[in-house]
Amino acid sequence: MSENIVDKVTQGEYKYGFVTDIETDVIQKGLSEDIVRLISKKKEEPEWLLEYRLKAYRHWLSLKEPRWAHLNIPEIDYQNIYYYAAPKKKESPKNLEEVDPELLKTFDKLGIPLEEQKHLSGMAVDAVMDIISVKTTYKENLAELGIIFCSISEAVKNYPDLVKSYLGSVVPYTDNFYAALNSAVFSDGSFVYIPKGVRCPMELSTYFRINAANTGQFERTLIIADDDSYVSYLEGCTAPMRDENQLHAAIVELVVHDRAEIKYSTVQNWYPGDKEGKGGIYNFVTKRALCKGVSSKISWTQVETGSAITWKYPSCVLLGDNSVGEFYSVAVTNNFQQADTGTKMIHIGKNTRSHIVSKGISAGKSQNSYRGLVKVSPKATGARNFSQCDSLLLGDQCGAHTFPYMEINNDTAIVEHEATTSKISEDQIFYCNQRGISTEDAVGLIVNGYAKEVINKLPMEFAVEAQNLLQVSLEGSVG
């Protein structure tokens, strides 16, 4: 591979860097019990939720930041962050005219099919812009089927019993430092409930945007799939270019009942920082799914190209007998990005199965780690796991690491792990060159082929975007 190719690969600029100018309703910096109370008050929350937040906040005070990951995390001043920022709103908008035109422009740049395109794309979009849900489409269509798809704050108001019984049931506030922080100050997020026997007819999608400068975004997603139901949920993000680091600590909780299935796809493209490693989002996310029922299924698919630091382990707790957990991931790091990502598969039920495919691509001076746990409890007879972790290195100054953990407490379990690390070989490039494909195109071709296995798992609309993202992230290598 010629050197300028590597240079080009490492010099791709962030294409989605723009700042939308909207008035935001901000409360003062810092975190204290008063702030937690204020957030809760602003959101007109019931007493039990305030109590939950306060308990989480008090627990958070007793915790320290986790430092075990293969990451170099700069000191974060938690008192120098705005914990609440919502787009100013008079009344919740009933139609497009009432929505702030600046906001619509942002969505246009991102290509969100909010109005005209919504029928064409067939997606229901719950657009979260700086925390408060601005507009939810397709709500009526979904309501006919009994599907609830709304922001979590609406859900707290309208379906308090559902939220109360599931919130924190998969990721308790005691789980980790960032989960406790999120539980204390979470601002908004999506809530989905699929009733028994319903197959959600469309892909549910949320676009998250981090917008106001210096705003940590703490979303909370809760998806419940009742017996025999199915839903495919998409989450995608782009963020404006910023100088200061932004903290992002989200929680995603999925609960799957008997024979139900959730497919959760993420394309993450937050601002990764510039070529000198300045700025960028810190992405500390806790995602976990509970396969509560028999024969339930969870499928996580993620394409991670953004963020300065990624600390993310979408996990599956396979509690129900015959439940299935899947994890497909492509993580790309460039310049000074750092990623420590992977999954946890906790086998508890009988005959549970899990499958892990992780593809890491590192370029520039980035560090890319896979960290995963496969745990088989003594009761999980007949558990089966296969993990495959491949790393591709582009350039000689980046690092690729694998840290798989396997804890087997059962003699009937079959657990396998395979990992390889390689670079694009000269043979492969030569083969392409011979057939008239330029070196640049060849690199793009090979990288796309390498990630294909995961990208194929994404829903159609997302797969296209994910491929574009790979191209942007490794710009210059792709023709």
Partner 1 sequence: MAVNAEQSYIEIYNEFQKTLCAKSAPLLNQYREEAFRAFKSAGFPSRRLESHKYTDLTDAFAVNYGMNLNRIEYTINSSDLIKCEVQGINSYLFFIVNDTFYCPASSQTEMEELRSKGVLIGSLNEYASSHPELVGQYYNKIVHADEEATVAFNTTFAQDGFFLYVPENVRLEKPIQIISVMHASMPTLANARNLIVLKENSEARVLVCAHTMEDVEFMSNRVTEVYVDRNAVYDHYKLENTHSKSSAVSSLAIRQMQGSNVLVNDLTLHNGLTRNTVTIDLTEEHCETLLCGMAVGDGKQHVDNTTHINHLAPNCKSNEMYKYVMDDESTGAFSGKIYVAPHAQKTEAYQVNRNVCMKSTAKMYTKPQLEIYADDVKCSHGASTGQMDDNALFYLRSRGIPEAEAKMLLMFAFVNDVLENVRISALKDKIKILVEKRFRGELSKCSGCNVCR
Encoded amino acid at 35, one letter: I
The two three-digit tokens of residue 44, written as one number:
């007109």
Tell me the CA end-to-end span of the chain in Å, nearest whole number.
15
CA separation, residue 360 to residues 153, 260, 331, 342, 394 (Å)? 36, 30, 5, 10, 11
Q: Name the helix (H) or strand (E) containing 85.
A: strand 85-87
148 lines the binding site for partner 1 (CB under 8 A):
no
Site for partner 1 in 344-403 (CB under 8 A): 378, 381, 391, 393-403
Q: How many residues bind partner 1 (CB under 8 A)?
A: 36
Note every long-range contact of 143-150, with CB atoms under 8 Å and residues 24 or more positions apart, other chains counting: 145/195, 145/198, 145/200, 145/201, 146/195, 146/198, 147/192, 147/193, 147/194, 147/195, 147/198, 147/200, 147/231, 148/191, 148/192, 148/193, 149/124, 149/190, 149/191, 149/192, 149/204, 150/126, 150/190, 150/191
* Region near partner 1 per CB under 8 A, out of 22-30, 123-131, 279-287, 413-421: 413-421
Taking the complex as a whole, the smallest distance from the CB of residue 302 to partner 1 amounts, in Å, to 21
State the Cα angle at 329 between 269 and 252, rounded to 5°.
Answer: 70
Q: Which is nearer to partner 1, 117 or 381 (CB)?
A: 381
| Residue of 262, 408, 442, 454 interacting with partner 1 (CB under 8 A) | 408
Q: Which is nearer to partner 1, 248 or 375 (CB)?
A: 375
| Residue of 95, 411, 434, 460 interacting with partner 1 (CB under 8 A) | 411
Site for partner 1 in 37-76 (CB under 8 A): 68, 70
404 lines the binding site for partner 1 (CB under 8 A):
yes
448 lines the binding site for partner 1 (CB under 8 A):
no
- The dihedrals phi and psi of 431, each to the nearest 5 degrees, come to -55, -45
Cβ pair 114, 104 in contact under 8 A: yes
| Residue of 117, 421, 433, 448 interacting with partner 1 (CB under 8 A) | 421
342 lines the binding site for partner 1 (CB under 8 A):
no
Cβ pair 27, 35 in contact under 8 A: yes
Q: Which is nearer to partner 1, 210 or 398 (CB)?
A: 398
* Region near partner 1 per CB under 8 A, out of 25-33, 215-223, 406-414, 448-456: 406-414
Taking the complex as a whole, the smallest distance from the CB of residue 414 to partner 1 amounts, in Å, to 4
Q: Which is nearer to partner 1, 240 or 364 (CB)?
A: 364
| Residue of 23, 96, 108, 405 interacting with partner 1 (CB under 8 A) | 405
The two three-digit tokens of residue 373, written as one number:
């746990």
120 lines the binding site for partner 1 (CB under 8 A):
no
| Residue of 157, 275, 423, 452 interacting with partner 1 (CB under 8 A) | 423
| Residue of 8, 350, 417, 452 interacting with partner 1 (CB under 8 A) | 417
3-class DSSP assignment, residue 394: strand
Q: Name the helix (H) or strand (E) containing 47.
A: helix 47-61
| Residue of 414, 438, 456, 479 interacting with partner 1 (CB under 8 A) | 414
| Residue of 422, 438, 449, 456 interacting with partner 1 (CB under 8 A) | 422
Q: Which is nearer to partner 1, 158 or 412 (CB)?
A: 412
The two three-digit tokens of residue 61, written as one number:
């005070």
Q: Is 396 exposed, middle or buried (0-12, 13-18, 19+ CB in 10 A)?
A: exposed
Q: What is the binding site for partner 1 (CB under 8 A)?
A: 68, 70, 378, 381, 391, 393-423
